[in-house]
Every structure is written in structure tokens, then in C-alpha cells.
């Protein structure tokens, strides 16, 4: 069977504006770093780059943890690494689920043979610390608590500080998923008493997918080193990986994705040159403008008021609007990608990303203009201009 596309064709950029739940747009310096000629993964120059990357990651995570590194793999590898190193068979684990990624933590826990204690709240809402406290009283044997800080499937922003204080006071280890929040909104690993925190490169760090930043404190490492059984994953065994990242001898573990580490190094440099607080404010400001424009067009936000992510805006799809058709029109006519819903909200919500390099006034304005045009062509709007007017007013104030 012949195909009309040659498998040997040159690849060309589509120039997409990535406004989905990830990946985000990438800074030119990061692309340039990806094309840098390779050093060996044990070359002194590459080891220096690793050291600098660790220092920058500590600043972005707001931690002094010695073991603050990037794992070879996407954010899902970070999730698995965080759990596989802490959980042994029959360990009691409390997982807080309010979306797809909390549910994935449950799946991994069960695969590891842990005794899962699952609590849930409605998608789009967040947990109160009292709910977690009650769950721990009912299950006093819990050793690990796992929760998502920024639930990418719903746009909900989970407060962590009080939960971290509770876990520290009761002697539990706290694992936090910060895949979508790192570099886009406040995250303070040390101040919030987080024991293990992981993320991904392709969200607010604006680096291609392929690495999972992760940090473990001394409490987590003590549990790792006191395990009765080997970590079930050789590739993600942090007791082996830490020797490559932190040991002066740099014990070989696996061949690092060298180009991706170059890219992450530059992505972190861009983040820190902008400054964390100005970066957080940029995300907040652009999200507020986008929300004002969407509300002017009749859209309703999905996540609970007061707990909405500034980098991932989830909205209900209005009745009568075709989900797949509209997203395809955005892609084909305006070169804009947004995300659909996952799980129980598939076909019901859109997830509009404003992460890292994507979070600009230009992208907010272009997206609202495109969406208004499409809705007007579909007969969903009687006139156009309300969304853009709301955006202009939002930025003016």
C-alpha cells in the first residue's frame, strides 16, 4: 500500500500557537541549546552544566534540597519516580483525587502493592486540610500522602501549605505533583513542608517534553535508604541516580538525554532572568484578561472560584457548540491549539493554556479574536467584539 507522503520528507514547522495543556511555546534560546554539539554525559563540561541546572532548579522549586535534579523522562516519569522510591508493598498511602492525575497516583500505588486509601472531591474543586486530617485519623497507618498542586485536567489550584504542615506534624511524607505549576505560580517546597515534589519541562518552564525535574528532602531520602526491598524500578531508583548527580565520583547510571539537559539549562536561565515574581504576575495578568474575554462571550469557568490556575484555564463548552469541530477550526484556520476535556469531562470543557512563553497579551488577544470569529460563523454570536473589548478593558485596568 502506497502513501502520498514520503517517509523521507524533510520536517517543517507548522508554527502552531500552543495554547493547550502542554506543551507550551519554547524560547529561541532553548531551541538553540537543543542544537548545540554534544558533549559526553561524563564530560567535565556536561557535569558543570548539570551542577548549574541543579542550582537553578533549587531556586525555582524554592528549596535547599541536595537531591534536586531532572529525571530522564516526562512528568509522568517524575510521578512514578516519586512514588516508586517511597512505597513498599503493604505501605499505607493516602491519595487525594480531584482529577485525572490524582487517579494516576492511585494506579501507580496499587501497582506497587501499596495499601491505597483514596479520598475524592468533585472535579474542579480542591481539598480542605480538615478533609485530609479526618482521612489520616481514620487510617493512622498512612506513611505517604500524595496530592496534585495544579490539576491539569480541571484547572484547579490546590493549596498545599497547611497540608504540608499537617503531614510534617503527624510524621507523614508529602508527595506533590507540580507538573503544571512549577515556574508559573508560587511553589515553595521548603516552606510548605513538601518532602518530594516533581514536575515536567513542557509546561511553565517552556522547554520541550522529555525531562522531569524532581526534588527530595532528607526525610524522603532517609526513607529511601531504609527500604527493606530494592526499588522496583531500576531506571527510576533514586538511590542509584543520586550517585550520578551528586556524588563527586559521578557513578554512571544511564546515558543522560544530553540535548534535553542543555535545553532545560537554558529554559531555567530564561525563567530566572525574568524573575519568579514577575513571571507569576505575568501569568496572573494574562489569565485574568483571558477570563474576562471568555466571560463576555458567555463562557463559564470550570474550576471553583478562588482556586483557579492562572496558566490553565478550564471552561465549560456552551450548549450547542461542537467541541471537536471548533477546536479543529481553531487549528486549521488560525493555527491555534487548545485542549479538550479528559475523563468525566471529555467533550464538556476546554482547557486553554497560558504557560510560560505562551502567556502573552498577543496570544490572549489573537485567541479571543479567533474564537469570536468562529462562534460568529457558527451562528453562536449575533455580533463580534464583546470578547476583545473585555480583554482591552482588562489590560487597561
Q: Read off the pLDDT of residues 53-94 as tens digits, 9 standing for 90 and up.
A: 999 999 999 999 999 999 999 999 999 999 999 999 999 999
How many distinct structural domains can be found in the chain? Answer: 2
Are residues 189 and 292 part of one domain? no
pLDDT bin (cut points 50, 70, 90) of residue 249 is confident
Are residues 102 and 123 part of one domain? yes
Q: Identify the CA nearest to 173 among candidates 242, 97, 224.
A: 224
pLDDT at 2 exceeding the cut of 60: no
Are residues 346 and 268 part of one domain? no
The reply to whether 83 falls in a domain is: yes
Are residues 155 and 208 part of one domain? yes
Confidence at residue 239, expressed as pLDDT on a 0 to 100 scale: 93
pLDDT bin (cut points 50, 70, 90) of residue 4 is low
The reply to whether 18 falls in a domain is: no
Residue whose entry in the numeric block shows the C-alpha cell 501507580: 108
The reply to whether 350 falls in a domain is: yes
Omega prior to 23 cis, within 30 of 0: yes
Are residues 281 and 265 part of one domain? no
Summarised one tens digit per residue, pLDDT across range 341-392 is 999 999 999 999 999 999 999 999 999 999 999 999 999 998 999 999 999 9
pTM value is: 0.96
Confidence at residue 3, expressed as pLDDT on a 0 to 100 scale: 55
Summarised one tens digit per residue, pLDDT across range 97-151 is 999 999 999 999 999 999 999 999 999 999 999 999 999 999 999 999 999 999 9
Confidence at residue 251, expressed as pLDDT on a 0 to 100 scale: 83
Confidence at residue 219, expressed as pLDDT on a 0 to 100 scale: 98
Q: Phi and psi dihedrals of 30, rounded to 5?
A: -70, -40
pLDDT at 37 exceeding the cut of 90: yes
Confidence at residue 248, expressed as pLDDT on a 0 to 100 scale: 74
Are residues 266 and 349 part of one domain? no
**CA end-to-end span of the chain:** 60
Are residues 321 and 197 part of one domain? no
Picking from 272, 300, 327, the residue at the C-terminal end of a domain is 272
pLDDT at 36 exceeding the cut of 60: yes
d(CA 75, CA 58): 17
Q: Are 235 and 22 in contact (CB under 8 A)?
A: no
Are residues 156 and 232 part of one domain? yes
Confidence at residue 252, expressed as pLDDT on a 0 to 100 scale: 85
Are residues 125 and 206 part of one domain? yes
Summarised one tens digit per residue, pLDDT across range 197-247 is 999 999 999 999 999 999 999 999 999 999 999 999 999 999 999 989 987
Are residues 228 and 285 part of one domain? no
Are residues 198 and 220 part of one domain? yes
Average pLDDT, the chain: 96
Q: Are 254 and 77 in contact (CB under 8 A)?
A: no
H or E segment and range at residue 211 = strand 211-216
Domain interval for residue 204: 28-272
- Alpha carbon distances (Å) from 226 to 46, 71, 221, 230: 31, 22, 8, 10
Are residues 296 and 259 part of one domain? no
DSSP for 106-138 reads: HHHHHHTT-EEEEEE--TT----HHHHHHHHHH
Amino acid at each position: 500500500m502506497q502513501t502520498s507522503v514520503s517517509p523521507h520528507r524533510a520536517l517543517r514547522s507548522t508554527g502552531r500557537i500552543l495554547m493547550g495543556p502542554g506543551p507550551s511555546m519554547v524560547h529561541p534560546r532553548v531551541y538553540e541549546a537543543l542544537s548545540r554539539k554534544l558533549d559526553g554525559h561524563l564530560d567535565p563540561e556536561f557535569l558543570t552544566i548539570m551542577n548549574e541546572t541543579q542550582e537553578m532548579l533549587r531556586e525555582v522549586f524554592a528549596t535547599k534540597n541536595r537531591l534536586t535534579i531532572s529525571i530522564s523522562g516526562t512528568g509522568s516519569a517524575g510521578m512514578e519516580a516519586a512514588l516508586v522510591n517511597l512505597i513498599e508493598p503493604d505501605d499505607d498511602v493516602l491519595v487525594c483525587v480531584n482529577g485525572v492525575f490524582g487517579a494516576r497516583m492511585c494506579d501507580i500505588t496499587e501497582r506497587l502493592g501499596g495499601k491505597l486509601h483514596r479520598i475524592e472531591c468533585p472535579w474542579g474543586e480542591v481539598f480542605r486540610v480538615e478533609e485530609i486530617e479526618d482521612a489520616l485519623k481514620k487510617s493512622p497507618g498512612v506513611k505517604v500522602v500524595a496530592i496534585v498542586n495544579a490539576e491539569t485536567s480541571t484547572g484547579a489550584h490546590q493549596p498545599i501549605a497547611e497540608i504540608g504542615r499537617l503531614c510534617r506534624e503527624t510524621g507523614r511524607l508529602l508527595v506533590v505533583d507540580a507538573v503544571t505549576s512549577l515556574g508559573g505560580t508560587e511553589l515553595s517546597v521548603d516552606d510548605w513542608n513538601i518532602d518530594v515534589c516533581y514536575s515536567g519541562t513542557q509546561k511553565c518552564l517552556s522547554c520541550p517534553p522529555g525531562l522531569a525535574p524532581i526534588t527530595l528532602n532528607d526525610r524522603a531520602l532517609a526513607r529511601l535508604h531504609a527500604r527493606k526491598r530494592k526499588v522496583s524500578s531500576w531506571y527510576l531508583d533514586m538511590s542509584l541516580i543520586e550517585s550520578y548527580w551528586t556524588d563527586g565520583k559521578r557513578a554512571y547510571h544511564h546515558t543522560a538525554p544530553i540535548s534535553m539537559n542543555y535545553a532545560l539549562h537554558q529554559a531555567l536561565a530564561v525563567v530566572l532572568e525574568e524573575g519568579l515574581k514577575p513571571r507569576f504576575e505575568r501569568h496572573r495578568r494574562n489569565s485574568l484578561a483571558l477570563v474576562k474575554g471568555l466571560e463576555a462571550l458567555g463562557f463559564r469557568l470550570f474550576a471553583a472560584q478562588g482556586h483557579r490556575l492562572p496558566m490553565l484555564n478550564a471552561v465549560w463548552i456552551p450548549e450547542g457548540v461542537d467541541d471537536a469541530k471548533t477546536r479543529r477550526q481553531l487549528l486549521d484556520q488560525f493555527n491555534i491549539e487548545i485542549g479538550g476535556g479528559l475523563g468525566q469531562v471529555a467533550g464538556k470543557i476546554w482547557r486553554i493554556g497560558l504557560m510560560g512563553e505562551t502567556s502573552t497579551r498577543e496570544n490572549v488577544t489573537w485567541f479571543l479574536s479567533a474564537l469570536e470569529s468562529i462562534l460568529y460563523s457558527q451562528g453562536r454570536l449575533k455580533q463580534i467584539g464583546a470578547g476583545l473589548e473585555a480583554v482591552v478593558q482588562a489590560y487597561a485596568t
